[in-house]
Structure 1
Amino acid sequence: MSLESGGGLLAGVAFGERDVRVAVANGSREILAQQLMPLQADHVADEGMERAARLLADLAETVSSGVEDISAIGFGLPMPVDAISGEAGSDAVLPGWRGVNVTDAMSAYLRAPVALDNTANLAALGELRAGGLRGVRNGCYLKFSYGVGAGIVIDGEVYRGSAGTAGEIGHVTIDENGPICRCGNRGCLDTFVGSRALISSLAASHGPLRLKDIVHRALAGDLGCRRVIEDAGRRVGVAVAGVVNLLNPEAIVVGGLLAEAGDLILGPLREALDRCAIPSAAATVELRPAELGDEADIVGAIHRASMLSHTNISIS
């Protein structure tokens, strides 16, 4: 394994609500090593960054002379982030990270520049460069897992909006009198299709389940789990129809844990999209399964690190 094509290692970090995945790649963005570590859902930022830094240091030592070879880091969190200030910004998801300047703190850990982004944006970037959105000028990556998020692609680039919060489809209000969301609003999409809602809806009939249990049982033919997943697909399809009406994308790629249910979720999603979107817009959008699976965000993180590395080279 060599570090040819350009100056050291690229590093990627992608946090989920319950885990962190790290990877190191060469200058050609070929991943040389990666590792996934579970985390407590209520962990704090210092703990998460220290673990990520330690994992990256270990991986760097296995493929090169050590952490000093890391030239840039792409860093993803499953929450709104301010890419300009480098701060995480949510009391609802990973509240232990709220207000932390991740860019500065992680740079201090590893002595390398850090590009901070939302993991849905990173997954969109990964699919755009190496997966189901290749060649797409205007499209969307839909992350359907413990919550729902989206990464938007406009004119061949990931669109982040003025404050870095573009794509927060999980917090689109679909019922203003609905349940209170963890963001403080009522009736957000997440309150109907997020993991808490799905697990709660099956508690009386199935007892305690994990989200992946629901997917596995649905694929095995469990009628209750199938119904819950199909209903979730329909609700997301209604929200996605709004995205289709607004942006008229060529393709929507669906990834995340619930996407592993395949046609059980994609079928109802497509049906609702066709029913609720403008016919001409619905007719021209292709619904595709993600190609990179649960590695989409880490692949995107490596590409983000590569972009940052080249920017630093051009400036110096």
Structure 2
Amino acid sequence: MARPAPGDRLRAATRRAVLALLAAEGPLSRADIGRRTGLARSTVSVVVAELLRSGEAAVSSDRGVPHKGGSGRPPVLLEIATPPGTVAGVDIGHRHVRVLLADRGGSLLAEGHAEVDVDPSGSGSLDLAAAMVRRLAEQERDAGPLLAAGLCVPAPVDATTGRIGSGVLRGWRGLAPAAELRERLAVPVRADNDANLGALAELHHGAGRGTGDLVYVTVASGLGAGVVLGGRLQRGASGIAGEIGHVQVDEDGALCRCGNRGCLETRVSAPRLLEQLQPAYDERLSAARVRELDALGDPGVARVLADAGRAVGRVVADLCNVLNPGAVVLGGVLGATASTVAGTREAIDRFAQPGAASAVRVVAGELGDRAEALGAVALANARLAHHP
């Protein structure tokens, strides 16, 4: 069989890139597609025309706004034509499993959540996640068959082998989570870590919209960052880009779960912050209660969270000097509080170069506990857009 000509391969790759962009970001104008992809206007026009003819894309009922707030005619928006079928976004955190079921356009259909300690057993956690996905897919069977899943795990995934590295999740060492979940669900699965998928979700649907260069920091059971440059998630050579939780801040500090001492995560994580606060309060504190107390202006909570934010900001300030992002987005169960954001802002202003500090917005994430699962949904839909 004859191999496709180079021009045909390039055109097919361009179509897949545009479909993946629409799958991740939702309706976009032709001009937006050009700005996001760097494609020439003529190329975008040709590709969009082909996608409309093939039925892979459709004109959205939404109307856009003129670029930079102009007063011209609102642009026509294009969107993924939603074929039958569903995708699952699976978020496995250290203490929970959350599953979202969505259609091919990213609209949510159903959700499930379970509180569980996932660290001791990767296989058992994936068994639970698969059962939750199957249950939701059965509930929404009228929407069509399950076609793919995106998987979020609270640890770096080796870019070459797809396996969890040693020293982070004791019950997951050597496990290839995407392959394991694919075997259980019999659909394609892509996996990434929680910070990367939180970054992906906030970039496309949350506080990072319109910002091509951002750092997303999650303060939850662990601490990590997702880095986006030029609108693209940066995973690094082996998939561990953004592991700021394991930057050493005290060489004689507490032993970290990664095996080193004095990592930032040993000072700043939800369990550590709750442990610091609990002796000063009669009630049993939870992350949700700490968020409430911060919103009410409780001075003890504000102090501890602001200190945590300053510790994070000191490390992120160096990233700002090197990467010059336009936004730092804070998420996770305790990252998006006003005091954490304020402390991070303060440290960046103090330790980053003035030009880098003045260029960056420091903001709370908008997607809350769903950020990572929504990123997993986008990952699954992007997988289908590239490999329908």
1:179 aligns with 2:249: no
Deviation sequence 1:162-183 (CA, Å, 0-9, x none): 1111111111112223222221
Which consecutive segments of 4 or more residues in structure 1 shift more than 6 A? none
**Conserved 8 A contact 2:95-2:221:** no
Partner of 1:163: 238
Q: Structure 1: which 5+ runs fail to align?
A: none
Aligned length: 308
Partner of 1:233: 309
CA distance, structure 2, for counterparts of residue 176 and residue 159 of structure 1: 28
CA distance, structure 2, for counterparts of residue 111 and residue 286 of structure 1: 42
Map of 1:209-248 to 2, 5 A cutoff? 209-248=285-324
Map of 1:1-316 to 2, 5 A cutoff? 5-64=82-141, 69-92=145-168, 94-206=169-281, 209-262=285-338, 264-313=339-388
Aligned residues: percent identity? 40
Change (3 A) 1:135 1:219: closer
Deviation sequence 1:178-208 (CA, Å, 0-9, x none): 2222211122111111234323333543376
CA distance, structure 1, for counterparts of residue 366 and residue 298 of structure 2: 26
Q: CA deviation at 1:281?
A: 0.5
**Conserved 8 A contact 2:118-2:125:** no
* Worse-matched range after superposition: 300-309 or 42-51: 42-51
Matching residue's letter, 1:171: H
Q: CA deviation at 1:310?
A: 2.0
Q: CA deviation at 1:41?
A: 4.6
Q: CA deviation at 1:225?
A: 2.3
Q: Structure 2: which 5+ runs fail to align?
A: 1-79
Q: CA deviation at 1:312?
A: 2.0
**Conserved 8 A contact 1:83-1:116:** no
**Conserved 8 A contact 2:119-2:172:** no
CA distance, structure 2, for counterparts of residue 4 and residue 138 of structure 1: 29
CA distance, structure 2, for counterparts of residue 104 and residue 197 of structure 1: 33
Q: CA deviation at 1:119?
A: 1.2
Q: CA deviation at 1:7?
A: 4.4
**Conserved 8 A contact 2:199-2:216:** yes
CA distance, structure 2, for counterparts of residue 131 and residue 202 of structure 1: 30
Change (3 A) 1:205 1:161: same
CA distance, structure 1, for counterparts of residue 279 and residue 140 of structure 2: 50
Q: TM-score, normalised by structure 1?
A: 0.91
Q: CA deviation at 1:279?
A: 0.5
**Conserved 8 A contact 1:7-1:71:** no
Q: Is the partner of 2:201 in helix, strand or coil?
A: helix
Cα RMSD for the two superposed structures: 2.0
CA distance, structure 2, for counterparts of residue 164 and residue 9 of structure 1: 28
Q: TM-score, normalised by structure 2?
A: 0.75
Q: Is the partner of 2:380 in helix, strand or coil?
A: helix
CA distance, structure 2, for counterparts of residue 203 and residue 21 of structure 1: 27
Deviation sequence 1:232-257 (CA, Å, 0-9, x none): 11111111101101100011111111
CA distance, structure 2, for counterparts of residue 9 and residue 171 of structure 1: 36
Q: Is the partner of 2:227 in helix, strand or coil?
A: strand
Choose between structure 1 and 2 for higher RCO, CA contacts under 8 A separated by at least 6 residues.
1
